[in-house]
């Protein structure tokens, strides 16, 4: 079980360091009905990840489906790797914007309501890394309770950076508003560089894993 959890740390932390969901929850907190919208965003992401994780582990986990599922997973990893590398190139070639100008997607989040928070949760869930983590749990050979616990661990680690600003806001709202404003400004200024790093690392990781799995 400990080796399984250790193996899940890489994809879970890769989700956790993605700056886009962090910026989304920070921006939601800064808007009207901030706590409600941010809490809805977090809960929706939890539901999406748990639902897809359960389907991947227990629906595709039968012996008859395991071989074809493993091949399909390797092909999907390779495809996701190519997509992430393409996104890296797109970010690299994009014209730099002014550092005091918010990205367009961040301006849309500023106007988000309750329904938009749910849509953001579906849109910003990292399905590639979620598939990788759930696939590792599925092929681990662990018992059903252990697989369920591993999935809960994976989701908790992956969403820890999204939950942290909301928890901080609930405990110390006045101080949190000031700090979250600074964080939002920093993420706004360096979002292009951060996204390039994230997309580049994810692209190399997924492409290498996918090709290695296809060769075996």
pLDDT at position 154 is 95
Residue range 159-182: average pLDDT? 84
| Tally of CB atoms within 10 A around 71 | 12
19-30 and 160-171 helices cross at what angle (nearest 10)?
A: 20
Q: Which two tokens stand for residue 170?
A: 């609930």
Give residue-wise pLDDT tens across range 18-71.
877 887 788 788 766 778 888 999 999 999 999 989 988 888 655 444 455 566
Domain count, the chain: 1
Confidence band (pLDDT; 50, 70, 90) for 85?
Answer: confident
| pTM for the model | 0.69
Give residue-wise pLDDT tens across range 101-159.
666 656 666 665 677 788 878 877 888 788 888 888 888 888 888 999 999 999 999 99
Residue 136, domain extent: 2-215
Q: Is the pLDDT of residue 99 over 60?
A: no
Residue range 4-14: average pLDDT? 87
Q: Which two tokens stand for residue 213?
A: 């799995």
């Amino acid at each position: 079980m400990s080796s399984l959890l250790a193996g899940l740390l890489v994809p879970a932390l890769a989700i956790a360091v993605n700056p886009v969901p962090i910026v989304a929850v920070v921006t939601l907190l800064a808007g009207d009905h901030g706590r409600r919208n941010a809490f809805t965003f977090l809960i929706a992401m939890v539901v999406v990840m748990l639902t897809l994780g359960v389907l991947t582990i227990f629906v595709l986990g039968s012996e008859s489906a395991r071989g074809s599922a493993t091949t399909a997973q390797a092909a999907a990893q390779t495809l996701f790797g190519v997509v992430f590398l393409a996104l890296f190139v797109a970010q690299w070639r994009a014209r730099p914007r002014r550092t005091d100008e918010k990205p367009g997607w961040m301006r849309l989040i500023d106007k988000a309501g309750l329904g938009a928070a749910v849509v953001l949760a579906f849109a910003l869930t990292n399905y590639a890394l979620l598939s990788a983590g759930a696939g590792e749990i599925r092929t681990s050979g662990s018992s059903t309770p252990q697989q369920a616990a591993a999935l809960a661990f994976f989701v908790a680690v992956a969403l820890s950076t999204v939950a942290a600003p909301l928890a901080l806001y609930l405990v110390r709202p006045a101080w949190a508003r000031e700090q979250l404003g600074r964080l939002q400004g920093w993420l706004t200024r360096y979002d292009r560089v951060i996204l390039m790093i994230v997309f580049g690392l994810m692209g190399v990781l997924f492409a290498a894993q996918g090709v290695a799995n296809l060769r075996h």
